[in-house]
Amino acid sequence: MTNTTTVPTEPHEMVEHFLAEAISNSPQPLQDLGKFLSEVLDEDHWKTADRLLLALAAAPVPSPPGKEVREAGIMAIHEALGGNGWAYTNYGGDELRSQRDELGAAFDAVLALLTPAGEGWRPISEAKKDNRPILVLIHPDLYPRIKPMREDLARWNGKQVVVRHIGLAHDGFDTGWTVDAPVGHGGFPDEWFAGFQPLPSPPVQPEGGR
């Protein structure tokens, strides 16, 4: 017996098919929420809820913010806690500088709550820059979204690469991540990466064997 799939041709059928596909491919908790709301809301309210649920189901996963966005976030948290970010910016005060690490950690914690992550992947801000190799995932849209003027970087889009970081220079300068292989590629900044995973320990070689 041959299974056949009917392809919708009428506009309303195409819309219903699209909605059904979006809902079936959404995370299970979102599907459960939609089922619950459909049972407790009246028809008018359900139309609004259905539209919002569809928007959530189709929403792309947010990418980690660039350096400018992260800086603005740190400044916003600083000001929300009573600091004077304007004075820091215009007069070079050291109040924000002395609290930058703590404020940066707070920003990353808030971002982690708002940004769903793929299974096993962690924000690159959590990666230790101690010369140990890690696996990173380069943003699938490194070019053109993050580096719009660097078409040559398109070949790196979505690649998973093992990299290492030797640590910050004495003056705080960040030299970036280097591919953990003798291939001559390095200087990758944090914002290029969608996330990272620690690598497992290497296998133990038996004594006297191969």
Q: Which of 2-6, 110-114, 123-127, 165-169 has the lowest mean pLDDT?
A: 2-6
111 burial type by CB count under 10 A (0-12 exposed, 13-18 middle, 19+ buried): middle
Q: Which of 39-53, 59-73, 118-132 has the lowest mean pLDDT?
A: 59-73
Stronger pLDDT, 148 or 106, i.e. the higher one: 148
Query: Which uninterrupted H or E stretch holds 164?
Result: strand 160-164
Q: Is residue 51 predicted with pLDDT exceeding 60? A: yes
- pLDDT-derived band at 119, boundaries 50, 70, 90: low
Stronger pLDDT, 147 or 16, i.e. the higher one: 147
φ and ψ of 188, to 5 deg: -75, 125
CB-based contacts of 129, cutoff 8 Å, min separation 6 = 165, 166, 167, 168
What pLDDT score does 149 carry?
92
What pLDDT score does 91 carry?
45
Q: Is residue 61 predicted with pLDDT exceeding 60? A: no
Pairwise CA distance, residues 81 & 159, whole Å: 39
Tens of pLDDT, residues 144-202: 888 999 999 999 998 999 999 999 988 889 999 999 998 889 999 999 999 999 998 88
Q: Is residue 31 predicted with pLDDT exceeding 80? A: no
CATH architecture of 118-199: Roll (2.30)
Does pTM top 0.75 for this prediction? no
What pLDDT score does 110 carry?
63
What pLDDT score does 190 carry?
94
